[in-house]
Structure formats: structure tokens, C-alpha cells
């Protein structure tokens, strides 16, 4: 199979389905949300598990998760935290979504090298983007209504002297050096600056402030942030003399060990302007059989019984990819809403002959074609040239032979004459070029 054929075939056709995405809800089969979190594989590391189980089974608590503006959008790694926050909220607990207006100016230490510091203006702009994204995934109504906070509010007024006297004196350098992210950098050629070394103190300060202001007793985050999570736990114990908690979720990787959500540098962002709903849908649809069940547990609100049924289908009828289709439907709907997801499914159907291309939403169709081999061409370009430009054939002579054999169509109509031209008649001035049954390409017509 040629490279263009492989690329086109990776966009799997999804048959129409009457299944609709679930409204967020915890599985009633679990009496305690903690037990559900464990079953879903959402707890990689934590403070005392027995104490956490009792805490989450009792009266409502306040908990928080922080999101630093290191980019103008959240990504799939952040989605794990947002889903965890939503599950805890559905259990009656009260979430605080923290956007890092101050920690975003510093950046948590990466294992390999120092972060490039963004300007204050950029960080402030990205704080606004992240705040609006976090707000989409939590409920701001009822007894467990969420709040959004910005750590710049309590960090900016704090002088350096006050910071060192009131917070810094509670930290021991020896303990700070043992944190995984810090030790990794100390052992690298890049070393670590005092700026990034101090990040864990700032995050500890956040937890302390939220504990004092809101009674917050639980922080969640990725397990790679465990050193920063326990920074606040330790600080509150030293300053306030009470025990609080932290949960570190697992870092999601594929079964082959590759990093989840990254492909040739293209992260799966939650902002539709940075990653279209179509691309997100296809990402989940192409999940490997070995990964799909853990993904259903972490990224959907399907119950244990429902996931067990999909496990049976993966074993008995893997060619139907029922689990992947449900995963794509659930996550895309949660992130982008039912209307965008319906448009994505309609585009998938129409591209593979199960719908009317002319009735598709222009933006969704364009996003779909960007995932195929594609080319920008002028109106009136010969189809034979477009076949070459998109890589569906390697030469004009091969293009003419393909047309003569009846194997080429454009916008659903067979091309009968090798003098035929492209005009971008579909919504958004695009065309769909097809060679054979499965090999597709997109044309963006000027």
C-alpha cells in the first residue's frame, strides 16, 4: 500500500449509530467514588489510601487541581485531571480550578532542560484561555458548585522578603533536592536554575492559601508532579499542624510504550482552533485494541457493566471496532459537544460514500480533508494534475490511465474525461478526490 493510501485508509469509516453520548455521571455500582477511581486506574500514587477512602465517603470536601498557562490550550493530559475533578464533583465534593497566573511565569521543571519564559502579557492572555476551558468541564451550580482561582492574586502582593520569611523557612534544601524533577535536572548537563528550583515552593504556597481560604484538603495532578503535590501537603502540616491529601494520576502511555496523545509533535489540544473535532474524533477512533479498554475507563463515564460488554466485543468482533467508536463518540462529545460530534460523524460517513458531501458543514469538511493527503490548487486545474499534486499518483500518465480505467471520482462523480477540471464545488470551496474505493485526497480550491 502506498503512503497516500495508508494515510487515507487510517481515516476509518464509522457507520451511523443510534448511540448517544452519556451525560456525566458516576457508576452507581460503586458505593464510594474512591473505589471507582481505583477501578478506573486513576490513582497511581496518593497519600494515605484508607484516609482518602473515608474522606471521600464523608461530608463534602473542597479539592483543587492547577493548570499552568504554558500553552494557549489544555491538552489530553489535562483532560485526565478535568475528568477526575468532574467525578469528584459528581460525588458531591467541591472543586477549585486553579489557573497559574504566577506559576505560569516560572514553569515547573522539565526533566531535560530549562523552560523558555514567556512574557507576562502572553501568560496573562493564556490564563484567560485556560480559565474558559476549565469552566466548560465543571458545574458552577448547586451545593458543589466549582470556583476558578488564579494564584497571581495571592502571589503578586507578596514581597520577596515576606515570601522567604513566611514560606521559605519551612522548606529544607535537602528535601527539595530529592524531588524527582529536581534530581533529574541536577544530573543533566542543563542543570537547574533557582527560578525553576523554587517552583515547588510556589505550588506549596498555593495549597496553603487554598486550605486557609476554602478549607481545601485534597490536591490532584499527574504523578510526574508528585514532588510538587507533596510540597503543599508537607507545608500545611508544618504550618497548620493538620494532614491534607494528594492524588497523582498515572501518566498515560500507549501499550507499545509511546507517549500518549503525541504524534510527530502534534499534540491533541482541547481548543478546536488548535485541534479540530474531526481530528480528535479520528485520534480516538484509531486507538489500538490493546489500549481501548483502559481509555474507556479513564476518559468516559461508561459504567463497569458497559465497559465489560465492550471488552467482550473487542475479543469476539475486533473488526467492528465498536469500543473505539464509542470512545470517540464519548470523548469528542464531552470536549466539543454533541453538535460538533454529529458533524464529524456525518463527514466521516459522506467521505466514504454513506452521505451527501454537499450537505456537510464547511468547517468540518475542511478539517476532515486536512487529515487526508491534500493540495491547494487553482480553480480550473486539470484533475490529472490534482492527482499528482495530492500524491495519489506519481505521474500524469498514471493519472490518465487511472481515469481511463474508471477508477477516479471527484465530489462523488466519476471522472470520464482526462480533460476534466477541478472547481471546488463542495461547501468551503473544496473538493474530494478519490482513486479506487479507499484512497482519498482533499483539494482546497482558490
Residue 11 lies in a domain: yes
Grid cell locating 392: 495519489
| pLDDT score recorded for residue 297 | 98
CATH number, residue 176? 3.40.50.620
Q: Are residues 59 and 175 in the same domain?
A: yes
Q: Are residues 219 and 342 in the same domain?
A: no
| Parent domain of 382 | 373-446
Grid cell locating 323: 469500543
Beta bridge mates, 431 = 443
Residue 193 lies in a domain: yes
Q: Are residues 327 and 395 in the same domain?
A: no
Residue 312 lies in a domain: yes
Q: Give 327-370 pLDDT, tens digit per residue.
A: 999 999 999 999 999 999 999 888 887 888 999 989 999 999 99
Q: Are residues 146 and 228 in the same domain?
A: yes
385 burial (CB, 10 Å; 0-12 / 13-18 / 19+) is: middle
Residue 37 lies in a domain: no
Q: Are residues 219 and 240 in the same domain?
A: yes
Residue 430 lies in a domain: yes
| pLDDT score recorded for residue 164 | 93
Contacts of 153 (CB under 8 A, 6+ apart): 101
What are the distances in angstroms from CA 316 to CA 19, 190, 299, 312?
20, 51, 23, 6
Beta bridge mates, 183 = none
Q: Are residues 153 and 262 in the same domain?
A: no
Domain boundary among 332, 363, 394: 363
Domain boundary among 186, 219, 249: 249
Q: Are residues 272 and 308 in the same domain?
A: yes
Q: Would you tell me the crossing angle of helices 322-336 and 76-90 to the nearest 10 degrees?
A: 80
What residue ranges of the chain have pLDDT lower than 50? 1-17, 264
Contacts of 169 (CB under 8 A, 6+ apart): none
pTM summary value: 0.89
Residue 34 lies in a domain: no
Q: Give 183-196 pLDDT, tens digit per residue.
A: 888 888 778 888 88
Q: Are residues 308 and 356 in the same domain?
A: yes
Q: Are 87 and 38 in contact (CB under 8 A)?
A: no
| pLDDT score recorded for residue 263 | 55
Grid cell locating 196: 525553576
Grid cell locating 420: 476534466
Domain boundary among 219, 249, 279: 249
| pLDDT score recorded for residue 18 | 52
Residue 32 lies in a domain: no
Q: Are residues 71 and 172 in the same domain?
A: yes
The candidate with the shortest Cα–Cα distance to 436, out of 402, 411, 401, is 402
| pLDDT score recorded for residue 349 | 86
| pLDDT score recorded for residue 2 | 40
Q: Are residues 314 and 356 in the same domain?
A: yes
Q: Are residues 201 and 293 in the same domain?
A: no
CATH number, residue 336? 1.10.240.10
Q: Are residues 416 and 280 in the same domain?
A: no
CA angle 228, 231, 235 (to 5 degrees): 155
Q: For the chain, what is the domain count? A: 3
Q: Which residue has the cell 541536577?
A: 186
CATH number, residue 440? 3.10.290.10
Residue 28 lies in a domain: no
Grid cell locating 218: 485534597
Amino acid at each position: 500500500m502506498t503512503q497516500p493510501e495508508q494515510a487515507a485508509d487510517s481515516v476509518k469509516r464509522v457507520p451511523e449509530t443510534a448511540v448517544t453520548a452519556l451525560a456525566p455521571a458516576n457508576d452507581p455500582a460503586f458505593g464510594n467514588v474512591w473505589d471507582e477511581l481505583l477501578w478506573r486506574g486513576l490513582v497511581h500514587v496518593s497519600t494515605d489510601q484508607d484516609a482518602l477512602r473515608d474522606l471521600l465517603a464523608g461530608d463534602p470536601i473542597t479539592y483543587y487541581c492547577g493548570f499552568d498557562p504554558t500553552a494557549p490550550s489544555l491538552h489530553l493530559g489535562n483532560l485526565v485531571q478535568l475528568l477526575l475533578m468532574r467525578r469528584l464533583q459528581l460525588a458531591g465534593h467541591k472543586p477549585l480550578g486553579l489557573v497559574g497566573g504566577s506559576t505560569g511565569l516560572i514553569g515547573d521543571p522539565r526533566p531535560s532542560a530549562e523552560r523558555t519564559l514567556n512574557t507576562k502579557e502572553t501568560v496573562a492572555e493564556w490564563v484567560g484561555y485556560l480559565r474558559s476551558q476549565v469552566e466548560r468541564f465543571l458545574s458552577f451550580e448547586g451545593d458543589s458548585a466549582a470556583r476558578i482561582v488564579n494564584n497571581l492574586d495571592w502571589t503578586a502582593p507578596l514581597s520577596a522578603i515576606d515570601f522567604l520569611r513566611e514560606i521559605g523557612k519551612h522548606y529544607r534544601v535537602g528535601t527539595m533536592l530529592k524531588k524527582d524533577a529536581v534530581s533529574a535536572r541536577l544530573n543533566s548537563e542543563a542543570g537547574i536554575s533557582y527560578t525553576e528550583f523554587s517552583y515547588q515552593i510556589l505550588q506549596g504556597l498555593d495549597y496553603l492559601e487554598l486550605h486557609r481560604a476554602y478549607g481545601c484538603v485534597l490536591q490532584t495532578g499527574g504523578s510526574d508532579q508528585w514532588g510538587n503535590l507533596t510540597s503543599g501537603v508537607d507545608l500545611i502540616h508544618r504550618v497548620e499542624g493538620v494532614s491534607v491529601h494528594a492524588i497523582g494520576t498515572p501518566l498515560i502511555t500507549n501499550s507499545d510504550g509511546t507517549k500518549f496523545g503525541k504524534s510527530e509533535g502534534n499534540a491533541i489540544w482541547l481548543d478546536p482552533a488548535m485541534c479540530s473535532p474531526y481530528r480528535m474524533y479520528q485520534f480516538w477512533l484509531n486507538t489500538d485494541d490493546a489500549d481501548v479498554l483502559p481509555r474507556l475507563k479513564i476518559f468516559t463515564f461508561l459504567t463497569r457493566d458497559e465497559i465489560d460488554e465492550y471488552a467482550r466485543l473487542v475479543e469476539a468482533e475486533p473488526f467492528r471496532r465498536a469500543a473505539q467508536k464509542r470512545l470517540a463518540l464519548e470523548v469528542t462529545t464531552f470536549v466539543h459537544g454533541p453538535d460538533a460530534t454529529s458533524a464529524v460523524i456525518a463527514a466521516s460517513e459522506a467521505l466514504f460514500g454513506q452521505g451527501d458531501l454537499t450537505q456537510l458543514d464547511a468547517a468540518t469538511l475542511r478539517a476532515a480533508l486536512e487529515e487526508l493527503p491534500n493540495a491547494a490548487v487553482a480553480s480550473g486545474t486539470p484533475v490529472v494534475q490534482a492527482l499528482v499534486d495530492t500524491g495519489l499518483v506519481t505521474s500524469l500518465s498514471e493519472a490518465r490511465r487511472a481515469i481511463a480505467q474508471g477508477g477516479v471520482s471527484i465530489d462523488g462523480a466519476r471522472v470520464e474525461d482526462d480533460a476534466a477540471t477541478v472547481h471546488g464545488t463542495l461547501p468551503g470551496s473544496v473538493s474530494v478526490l478519490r482513486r479506487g474505493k479507499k484512497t482519498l485526497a482533499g483539494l482546497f480550491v482558490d
